[in-house]
Amino acid sequence: MFELLSFGDAGWGDEISRGLVTTLILAVICFVTGTFVGLMLTLLRRAGRFSRFVVGAYVTVLRGVPELLVIYLFFFGTGVFVRGVAASFGYTEYINLSGFFLAALALTCITAAYSAEVFRGAASSIPPGQAEAARAFGFKPSKAFRLIELPQLIVVALPGLGNIWLILLKDTALVSLTSVAELMRQSTVAAGATFRPFTFYAIAAAIYFIISMFSERAVTAVERRIAITGER
């Protein structure tokens, strides 16, 4: 068992660790970009009836369709799309897009939809008097959002965002099906090479589980901290 996980040529320890690093980088990038886009979508929702409809449709579609399908669409579809556009400009060389980039794009789109929903819920819990008071003080809308609404929004949205992080972490495993060498992919390769599938999937499961547990603790700790400063 420990030989299987040793580093170097004999074991799979280095491959699995590299996969773990890729998983974490992917998850962190997509969480940051996804929640940022989600916040922008929430703001866009207020811009008018048409934009509200568009954002609503985007959120409904992305939340109703399996994550795997979205990842397949980006992974297999984007190349065709980009090459089609390039060909129409007369560029006919083969364009190869990085699998990591496409995976990050797909997961960002999914996370944006989920976090837009969380931010919308959080925004509705902030009393309208706050915005009215900001206007009465002569705050510009951008300043009112940045100084009055956003800090409260983040506090209220935090548990929801913690959930999104856990879902995203688990969703990164789907990317292994598109050959991005993250944790799950490396485990599959190791499982195939050693004929010990259960061992390696159990190891992968244990690693995901440990990250999930740590994340949950961290979210609770941050929540508690923010809640205290909120009462001051």
Partner 1 sequence: MEWHLFKDFIPKLLAGVPITLGLLAGALALGVLLGAILCYLRVAKVPVLRHGAVCYVSLFRGTPMLVQLFAIYFGLGQFEAVRESIAWPLLRHAWFCAFLTLGLNSAAFTSEILRGGLLGLEKGQLEAAKAYGFSRWKKLRFVILPQLTRISIPAYSNEIILVLKGTSLASTISLLEITGLAKQLSSKHFTPFEAFISAGVVYLAIVFALTFLMQWVERRLDH
Produce one character per residue of 74-100: b if its CB has 16 or more CB atoms within 10 Å, e if not: bbeebeeeebeeeeeeeeeeeeeeeeb
Among 1, 49, 66, 231, binds partner 1 (CB under 8 A): 66
Print the binding letters for residues 122-161 with partner 1: x by CB under 8 A, - otherwise. Answer: ----------------------------------------
Q: Does 5 bind partner 1 (CB under 8 A)?
A: no
Q: Least distance (Å) from partner 1 to the CB of residue 140?
A: 38
Listed residue (35, 14, 192, 29) closest to 98, CA to CA: 29
> Which tokens hold the place of 9?
């040529």
Is 176:185 a contact under the CB 8 Å cutoff?
A: yes
- The interface region with partner 1, picked from 41-49, 128-136, 148-156, 173-181 by CB under 8 A, is 173-181
The footprint of partner 1 on residues 12-41 (CB under 8 A) is none
Is 131:184 a contact under the CB 8 Å cutoff?
A: no
Q: Does 58 bind partner 1 (CB under 8 A)?
A: no
Among 73, 154, 155, 219, binds partner 1 (CB under 8 A): 73
Q: Does 113 bind partner 1 (CB under 8 A)?
A: no
The footprint of partner 1 on residues 178-217 (CB under 8 A) is 184, 187-188, 191, 195-199, 201-202, 204-205, 208-209, 212-213
C-alpha 206/C-alpha 53 separation (Å) is: 42
Q: Does 51 bind partner 1 (CB under 8 A)?
A: no
Listed residue (180, 209, 203) closest to 190, CA to CA: 203
